[in-house]
């Protein structure tokens, strides 16, 4: 008996954060590689879903600023960083644009040095995955990754692959 079936497509949306290159000249060499930033949507399968939370982790350090600034669609919001967390939950600010900028402020490194983090741009990223749910249930790896990139690249890819 041969089991086959149609492949189901899953589209996953999230934000990836990057230090804006023009802002890293005053930092130690390769410092931007030690900053890890991402954002998760409330519904990761829906493009227009709002941000559930975003985070910024600095290798060997932690954010110590009491406020964080968010710039989205030319509007600036200042939010409290209660408890000086690296994970920021912000459901009261409705963000679902293709990109936004966050200024996390100061970070204290484990060696005691305090640095002002450069602004981080969060860009919506997309990953499309195809699987055969019947064969996957039987531990057959049917996964394909036809696309992974920014939301702008995804829209162009979708136009070309209708």
Helix (H, G, I), strand (E, B) or coil at 152: helix
Contact 16, 121 (CB under 8 A): no
CATH code, 93: 2.60.40
Is 150 a domain residue? no
Residue 52 domain-assigned? Answer: yes
160 domain-assigned: no
Number of domains in the chain: 1
CA 122 to chain centre: 6
Taking the model in full, what pTM does it have? 0.82
Kindly state whether residue 131 falls inside one of the protein's structural domains.
no
Instruction: Residue 102: give the domain boundaries.
Output: 14-126
Res 150: pLDDT? 94
Which residues of the chain register pLDDT less than 70?
1-5, 21-32, 82-87, 89-91, 134-140
Contact 62, 108 (CB under 8 A): yes
| pLDDT at 139 (0 to 100) | 64
8 A C-beta contact, residue 91 and residue 59: no
**Structural domain contains residue 133:** no
**What is the side-by-side order of every strand in the sheet holding 61-63?**
61-63, 106-109, 114-116
């Amino acid at each position: 008996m041969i089991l086959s079936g149609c492949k189901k497509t899953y589209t996953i949306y999230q934000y990836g954060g990057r230090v804006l290159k023009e802002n890293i000249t005053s930092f130690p060499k390769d410092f931007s590689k030690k900053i890890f930033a991402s954002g998760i949507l409330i519904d990761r399968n829906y493009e227009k879903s709002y941000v559930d939370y975003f985070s910024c982790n600095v290798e060997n350090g932690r954010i110590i600023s009491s406020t964080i600034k968010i710039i989205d669609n030319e509007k600036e919001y200042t939010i409290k960083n209660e408890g000086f967390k690296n994970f920021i939950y912000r459901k009261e600010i409705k963000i679902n644009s293709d990109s936004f900028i966050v200024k996390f402020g100061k970070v204290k490194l484990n060696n005691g040095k305090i640095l002002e983090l450069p602004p981080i741009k969060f860009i919506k990223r997309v990953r499309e995955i195809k699987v055969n749910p019947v064969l996957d249930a039987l531990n057959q790896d049917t996964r394909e990754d036809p696309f992974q990139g920014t939301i702008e690249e995804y829209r162009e890819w979708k136009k070309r692959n209708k």
